[in-house]
Chain A
Amino acid sequence: MSKAYKRTKYVKRYCVPDQLMHWTVALGFLLLLITGFMIFFKGPASLLTTEAGMAFRQGHRIGAILFIGAPLIYFIFSSKRFGFLVAFKWSKYDLGWLKAAPKHYFVGGEGMPPQDKYNTGQKLYYLVVLVFGFLLAITGLALWHDWFTGPLGVWMLVIHDISALIITIFFGIHLHLTVFHARERASFNAMTTGWMEAEYAEHHHKLWFDKVKYDQMITCGERKMRKIRQENQNQNNTFQA
């Protein structure tokens, strides 16, 4: 039995397109974050007047293309295009999670309600990214292409600033928890490798883990799913024979 447990030490969590999209958006966002705040604050902004500074301004556009393009392409081509809707599904567990979270993330301790594939915090972050990312994209394009002059133009700027601030704070939390927090590394590894440690998954995403632990039925694309079904079928056949 020990062996069987070892074999399920990891569970498939993300497929290659998911990872590609996540990291492209991440790269785009990082570019936008750095170049954006350089323009936002007067000090660094006045350093942007050289050739290198102009490259920074172009960096903001390249970041924008990645940040907007990746989710768009994902939405058009991925069969999981409506996956983002999970960010809008909230239940009573989420309230419990929010209450228990601060203590949990500082000193550990239990009492976190069981979570699905995405815990409340992740859903909240996802929601923030969706809403304010959308606002950032729209207002950003308006600023880039001068869609509005006068007061409407200033509105675009102000919405752009506020959305950027909100997303930056949440991004800080996200980055901190996944990269620097002592216990949540597993989550980071899942996004880089596609696989999540089973113990961690069971601990942090019980509802999801219970669904996927036996059959590894996380599927990456229709072809793979058919293959897995086929394999299961074959196994059953040999077993019966």
Chain B
Amino acid sequence: MMAQKTDKAILVDTSLCTGCKACQLACKEWHNLPAMEFDKVPGTYQNPADRSFNTLTLMRFDEKYDRKTNTFEWLIRKDQCMHCSDAPCVAICSTGALYQHKEGFVAFDQESCIGCGYCAKACPFDIPRYQYDSFTGRDKMNKCNFCQDKITNGEQPACVQTCPTNALELMSWDEAVKQAYKRVEQIKDRFPNANVYGDKIMGGTHYIYVLTEKPEEYGLPTNPKTNELVEFRSGVIKPVTEVLMGAAGIGFLANFIVSSTAFNFNGKDEPEDLLKEEKKHE
């Protein structure tokens, strides 16, 4: 599947981001998620250390210090689900809790999630996070859902709405990609490595980034791909299982009918042998 031009997308311009974390808080606020992790992350402004069931979007702070030129650069990136068009998490989801919204992004119905944990294995960005249960291990999953409720009501996602510098903007997918390339051109003097991230991977993601440095500098995969096994599972294993189980069932039934009539076993067959046997012993 490919992103449609009219899909909704969020443009993230890292050159405009000040790392104020307003989006991180707005997201928690809107989704009613408590602040649970108070672990300090020494040496950076990042907090908490990672996204979690309660932190769907996290400002990542990466400090880059260049000894040669004695310069320091701060790479700040909003980290959340990328909303892939070709989304392996949707393909592997056991229940259909993850699905492609008609606006293109990957929506999530937590009610239907059974916490199987398959989505995290399939996601090339390691996005899904879980609530933990002492016995079953994982419980419910959680991830950025593009504020699907707000989108459906014609509003902007909470993080976009709250961003004070316009580093986050909601627009059509087509527009977001065009804008992104234009901005890269504009900032080329200041950031020679600036690039657009998202439009060419995973069928086009619905978060489009203007990055000031190469993706790997931000810890992003340069060429994320859908694991072929995910396709194999839904395209081959599942249908083959259905056919084989059906065929086996029919086979057993046929055997049951044929064998019970053929043996008619209250009558002859074995008891006859038994009689012979009995005679031998007498």
Name A's B-contacting residues (CB within 8 A).
1-2, 4-5, 39-42, 45-46, 48-49, 53-54, 57-58, 61, 105-108, 143-146, 148-151, 153-158, 161-162, 165, 168-169, 172-173, 176, 180-183, 199, 202-203
Determine if B137 is an interface residue (Cβ-Cβ < 8 Å).
yes
Given contacts A154-B230, A199-B270, contact A108 B137 (CB under 8 A): no
Contact yes or no, A183 B265, CB < 8 A: yes
User: Which label, helix, strand, loop or mixed, suits the secondary structure of the A interface?
Assistant: helix
- With both chains docked as a complex, state the minimum distance between the C-beta of A182 and any C-beta of chain B, in angstroms: 5
Given contacts A168-B245, A169-B244, A183-B263, contact A149 B126 (CB under 8 A): yes
Size of interface on B: residues with Cβ below 8 Å to A: 51
- With both chains docked as a complex, state the minimum distance between the C-beta of B130 and any C-beta of chain A, in angstroms: 9
Contact yes or no, A39 B116, CB < 8 A: yes
Q: For residue B138, which residues in chain A have a CB less than 8 angstroms away from its CB?
A: 146
Contact of B114 among A39, A61, A154 (CB under 8 A): A39
Give the complex CA separation of A61 and B249 in angstroms: 27
Contact yes or no, A46 B259, CB < 8 A: no
Contact of A176 among B136, B237, B241, B255 (CB under 8 A): B255
Contact yes or no, B94 A158, CB < 8 A: no
Given contacts A105-B259, A182-B263, contact A146 B115 (CB under 8 A): no
Contact yes or no, A45 B114, CB < 8 A: yes
Contact yes or no, A1 B281, CB < 8 A: yes
Give the complex CA separation of A105 and B252 in angstroms: 11
- Specify the chain B residue showing the minimal Cβ separation from A177: B255
Contact yes or no, A48 B95, CB < 8 A: yes
Contact with A along B153-193 (1 / 0, CB 8 A): 00000000000000000000000000000000000000000
Q: For residue B201, which residues in chain A have a CB less than 8 angstroms away from its CB?
A: none
Contact yes or no, A158 B232, CB < 8 A: yes
Contact of A165 among B120, B240, B258 (CB under 8 A): B240
Give the complex CA separation of A40 and B230 in angstroms: 14
Given contacts A53-B114, A176-B255, contact A39 B94 (CB under 8 A): yes
Give the complex CA separation of A203 and B94 in angstroms: 48
Give the complex CA separation of A4 and B262 in angstroms: 32
A-B contact pairs, 20 of them (CB 8 A): A5-B281, A45-B94, A49-B113, A57-B114, A58-B135, A58-B136, A61-B136, A108-B263, A149-B120, A149-B121, A151-B121, A154-B118, A154-B121, A165-B240, A172-B249, A173-B248, A176-B256, A181-B255, A183-B263, A199-B273
- Specify the chain B residue showing the minimal Cβ separation from A145: B137
Q: For residue B277, which residues in chain A have a CB less than 8 angstroms away from its CB?
A: 5, 199, 202
Q: Which of B109-148 contact A (CB under 8 A)?
A: 111-118, 120-122, 124, 126, 135-138
Given contacts A151-B229, A165-B241, A172-B252, contact A61 B112 (CB under 8 A): no
Contact yes or no, A203 B233, CB < 8 A: no
- With both chains docked as a complex, state the minimum distance between the C-beta of A75 and any C-beta of chain B, in angstroms: 25
- Specify the chain A residue showing the minimal Cβ separation from B120: A149
Determine if B66 is an interface residue (Cβ-Cβ < 8 Å).
no
Contact yes or no, B281 A2, CB < 8 A: yes
Contact yes or no, A108 B269, CB < 8 A: yes
Q: For residue B32, which residues in chain A have a CB less than 8 angstroms away from its CB?
A: none
Contact yes or no, B259 A57, CB < 8 A: no
Contact with A along B252-272 (1 / 0, CB 8 A): 100110111011010001100
Give the complex CA separation of A161 and B262 in angstroms: 37
Give the complex CA separation of A53 and B114 in angstroms: 8
Contact yes or no, B121 A150, CB < 8 A: yes
Contact yes or no, A42 B260, CB < 8 A: no
Contact yes or no, A108 B256, CB < 8 A: no
Contact yes or no, A42 B278, CB < 8 A: no
Contact yes or no, B121 A181, CB < 8 A: no
- With both chains docked as a complex, state the minimum distance between the C-beta of A102 and any C-beta of chain B, in angstroms: 9
Contact yes or no, A49 B95, CB < 8 A: yes
Q: For residue A154, which residues in chain B have a CB less than 8 angstroms away from its CB?
A: 92, 118, 121-122, 227, 229-230, 233
Contact yes or no, A46 B255, CB < 8 A: no
Q: For residue B122, which residues in chain A have a CB less than 8 angstroms away from its CB?
A: 154
Contact yes or no, A2 B282, CB < 8 A: yes
Contact yes or no, A42 B94, CB < 8 A: yes
Determine if B2 is an interface residue (Cβ-Cβ < 8 Å).
no
Q: For residue B245, which residues in chain A have a CB less than 8 angstroms away from its CB?
A: 165, 168-169
Q: For residue B35, which residues in chain A have a CB less than 8 angstroms away from its CB?
A: none
Contact yes or no, B114 A182, CB < 8 A: no
Q: For residue A146, which residues in chain B have a CB less than 8 angstroms away from its CB?
A: 117, 137-138
